[in-house]
Amino acid sequence: MKLSVIIVSYNVKYYLGQCLEALTKAIDNLDAEIFVIDNHSNDDSMEYLQERFSHVNFIRCNHNYGFACANNIAIRQSDSSYVLLLNPDTIVGEKTITDCLQFMDEHSQTGALGVRMLNTDGTDAKESRRGLPSPLTAFYKMSGLCARYPYSHRFGKYYMSYLPWDSPAQIDVVSGAFCMLSRSALDKVGLLDEDYFMYGEDIDLSYRLLKGGYQNWYFPSKILHYKGESTQKSSFKYVHVFYEAMLIFFSKHYAHMSLILSLPIKLAIYFKASLSLVSMLMDKARKSMGFSGYHLVQSKYVFIGREDAIDVCRKLARAKGLDAQFVVGDETSLPDGHLGFLQQSTKTFVVYDVDAYRFDTIFDIFSRRPMSNVYIGTFNLHSKTIITGEEVLR
């Protein structure tokens, strides 16, 4: 077996369904298999997906074991030259997997490979390339120097923003949202550290790969990442898990530092966590008293696709009360998609019929000229589902 793709899922059945649709196209004609490890979801994910994707190996966990442990369960069941860890809230392009495998084959010293992740507005996600969060790098990030001087090799190291987006480059940390791994490297450095429940395990593994003599690479193949659809980043549990992961990483890899240096770093982590919790409490208090600070504005929707898909979208839009525009077109008749006619500042979701446009084409259109307040949406005629980064309509 050439490749095993492993997806850990928790209560994201529609996003996971879309992820599997795209992935199935991307591994067509490849010697590859897919594992989905469900971390005890309560949204009927498995019942919804197993019938549609009979070629996928579904594993149901009786408990939520966290990201690292669930991935390890599937890695141990697989026997392939490469392993791809993939988030369920991602969409891969049709050529992504093939191109990444070719790069790995041609660069035998590669331990892990990441890709060019896009935000839902078509801009590049900073998390696509990261440096190791050494004490100094972490300080520059938390103090705001990284944001102030993003292209500095010293202050901007956390996101390595000085690297070009359109060519491969060696990086320190590969994001767990899309992380292609060499099996031989995993055999040498070990699997994901299960001390991490969620967050930090990708940093830890990337660091161990570097220390094991391997290289970590960024490769400019585009995917979409909804960035945390499977987690509630406004929850107290998120704050606890995220900052606990930072402490685990620091204690594991920088325990040799003197108390004079280590104590301020630990205090800074606790301080940032406390600030996040206080901010959440204040926000919840404001909302409970009716002071939300904003009023909801109806978003606009632009649907682009074949006539049969557009007909279904019209009915869905009418049933949901959407402010919608409909354009019949495909890659041949409307190759530039919405760029050819849309000039709008109001919040707009451009929903592409995925049978009329390849995912690679959709990503290229959005990334070619990101527009303010314009976001990616998709429509699948088979499932009759509209998916954006904010909601699922069906």
- 376 near 122, Cβ under 8 Å? yes
- What's the rounded Cα separation, in Å, for the pair 61 and 73? 10
In this structure, the strands spanning 385-388 and 392-393 are antiparallel
User: Which range, 74-88, 230-244, 266-280, has the best average confidence (pLDDT)?
Assistant: 74-88
Dist CA 119 CA 363 (whole Å) = 10
Report d(CA 227, CA 239) in Å as an integer. Answer: 16
What is the reported pTM? 0.88
Residue 13 has pLDDT above 90, yes or no: yes
Q: How confident is the model at residue 133 (pLDDT cuts 50, 70, 90)?
A: confident
Indicate the average pLDDT of the chain: 89
**Residue 256 tokens, joined:** 């040799």
**pLDDT value, residue 127:** 95
Average pLDDT over residues 320-346: 94
Q: How confident is the model at residue 249, as a pLDDT?
A: 72
**Under 8 Å CB-to-CB from 217, ≥6 apart: which residues?**
103, 107, 110, 112, 113, 114, 168, 169, 170, 171, 174
pLDDT at residue 195, rounded to an integer? 85
Q: In the prediction, which pLDDT does 229 show?
A: 47
Residue 239: the pLDDT is 55
Give the HSE-up count for residue 2: Cα atoms under 13 Å, Cβ half-sphere.
Answer: 13
At 141, the pLDDT band (50, 70, 90 cuts) reads: confident
Q: What average pLDDT score do residues 300-319 get? A: 97
CATH architecture of the domain 300-393 equals 3-Layer(aba) Sandwich (3.40)
Least confident of 43-47, 111-115, 166-170, 363-367: 43-47
Question: 3-225 has which CATH code?
Answer: 3.90.550.10
User: Is the predicted pLDDT of residue 237 greater than 70, yes or no?
Assistant: no
Please compute the mean of the pLDDT values over residues 120-125 and round it to a whole number: 97
Could you tell me the pLDDT band of residue 134, with boundaries at 50, 70 and 90?
A: confident
For residue 388, the model assigns a pLDDT of: 97
pLDDT band at 290 (very low <50, low <70, confident <90, very high): low
Asked if residue 78 has pLDDT above 50, the reply is: yes
What's the pLDDT tens digit per position in 337-372? 999 999 877 899 999 999 999 999 999 999 999 999
Contacts of residue 66, defined as CB under 8 A and 6 or more positions apart, other chains included, come to 39, 194, 196, 197, 198
pLDDT value, residue 329? 97
What pLDDT, on the 0 to 100 scale, is given for residue 234? 46
